[in-house]
Amino acid sequence: MQGRTLVWTLIFVIAGVWLLLRATTGSGMGKAYVKRTDQQFVNVAEAGEAAEWIEVHTPAARAYDFQDLPRYPLEERVGWTEYDPAPPKDWAAAEKANPGQQTYVFSLWRSIGLWLAAMFTFGIFSFLYRDNPFYKISEAVVVGVSAAYWMVVAFHTTLLPNLFGKILPTWIQSWAMPGLKEERNLWYLVPLVLGVMLLWRLMPKGGWISRWPLAFFIGVFCGLRLMAYMHGDFLMQIRSAIVPLGVFGPDGFDFWESLRSVFLIGGLLVCLVYFFFSFEHKGFVGKTAKVGIWVLMITFGAGFGYTVMGRIALLAIRLEFIFDDWLWLIDPTGQRIGL
């Protein structure tokens, strides 16, 4: 066994033993808690009228007597229970005030998800050692679950309310979204048809049908993005570059703001000279163009540094998840005060 492999093996064994001891000694690590909230909607519309759903636990519901069952029968009620993440300190406080309460409860499935997230995180980090099956499995699972999750989110937040909710509002309201307003608009059949045509590429024959909606979507998207880019980027950059060289504030001449304006205008001009190819870059023009190159390189370097810092922030968030949410070694947000 190579020396590096032996060192990593010892590190993994020691870390595994430490995690096992910490998990079995009552430290509380890896536990997730939720708050139970009962949601209930009642149809308050009269017979023959369009459905009008009112949430029971809102100020608007005080005008109705929901105990009057003949007027509001049970079949006109829709209810469910929501489980929102809750910090451990809220669970501890609720248990101390009322032992055995059911508002704040331990969530087994969220705790399992917490442990799985930690294991997959270590599986991704294992690529730092070398390519291995744990990394490949973690990568495939994370990518697949993320794609499936966002597909489900898009279905419930986009397709249901913005497409099917416009075509069949009563049907969507009856089983999926009780609070949806009944505003039927048959023009939404057009994107539905285009979407079905786009899926035709999955068929063994007739794949050319998907090219028409694809071309339409790309054309419309490019047109909208072009206008947004013109207003949000191109014109705004020109507007931001039109600044006075001498800035005067309430206290008179502002030296630092004026210096900033000089650097801004000077950097813009030397960069434009570099891209001006009607004259050969010699003499004064060539020297100015070289200064423009330096300005461009500094700008690109700052942009690259910003990107790197963004990736470092993602790493810091993942490490915070490991040490805070999973291991309970740190508590920067005070979620476990009082435990």
**Residues ≥6 apart with Cβ < 8 Å to 165:** 172, 173, 177, 180
pLDDT at 26 over 70: no
Per-residue pLDDT tens for 239-273? 888 888 888 888 888 888 899 999 999 999 999 99
In this predicted model, which residue has the larger pLDDT, 80 or 152? 152
Distance CA(16)–CA(118), nearest Å, equals 13
Per-residue pLDDT tens for 219-248? 999 999 998 888 888 888 888 888 888 888
pLDDT at 339 over 90: no
Q: If you average pLDDT over residues 138-149, what whole number do you get?
A: 94
Q: What is the pLDDT of residue 192?
A: 92
8-state DSSP, 324: I
In this predicted model, which residue has the larger pLDDT, 157 or 50? 157
Q: What is the pLDDT of residue 303?
A: 92
pLDDT at 66 over 70: no
Q: If you average pLDDT over residues 140-161, what whole number do you get?
A: 92
pLDDT at 109 over 60: yes
Q: What is the pLDDT of residue 301?
A: 95
Distance CA(302)–CA(28), nearest Å, equals 43
Q: If you average pLDDT over residues 88-97, what whole number do you get?
A: 91
Q: If you average pLDDT over residues 53-77, what whole number do you get?
A: 65
Q: If you average pLDDT over residues 184-188, what whole number do you get?
A: 90
Give first-to-last CA distance, the chain, whole Å: 45
pLDDT at 189 over 70: yes
Residue whose C-alpha is closest to residue 197's, from 217, 218, 211:
211
The pLDDT-based confidence of 94 (bands split at 50, 70, 90) is very high
Residue whose C-alpha is closest to residue 32's, from 118, 110, 116, 119:
110
pTM, 2 dp: 0.70
pLDDT at 151 over 90: yes
pLDDT at 311 over 60: yes
Q: What is the pLDDT of residue 47?
A: 65
Provide long-range contacts, Cβ within 8 A and 24+ apart, for 150-157.
Answer: none
Side chain identity, residue 194: L
In this predicted model, which residue has the larger pLDDT, 62 or 202? 202
pLDDT at 48 over 60: yes
The pLDDT-based confidence of 154 (bands split at 50, 70, 90) is very high
Cα–Cα distances in angstroms (integers) from residue 303 to residues 112, 235, 258, 306, 308, in the given order: 39, 21, 24, 5, 9
Q: What is the pLDDT of residue 209?
A: 92
Q: What are the residue boundaries of the structural domains of the chain, listed by start?
A: 31-106, 186-241, 250-326
The pLDDT-based confidence of 184 (bands split at 50, 70, 90) is confident
Report the share of the chain in percent with pLDDT over 70: 90
Q: What is the pLDDT of residue 62?
A: 65
pLDDT at 155 over 60: yes
- Quote the mean pLDDT of the chain: 86
Q: What is the pLDDT of residue 75?
A: 55
Handedness of CA 51, 54, 56, 61 (dihedral sign): negative
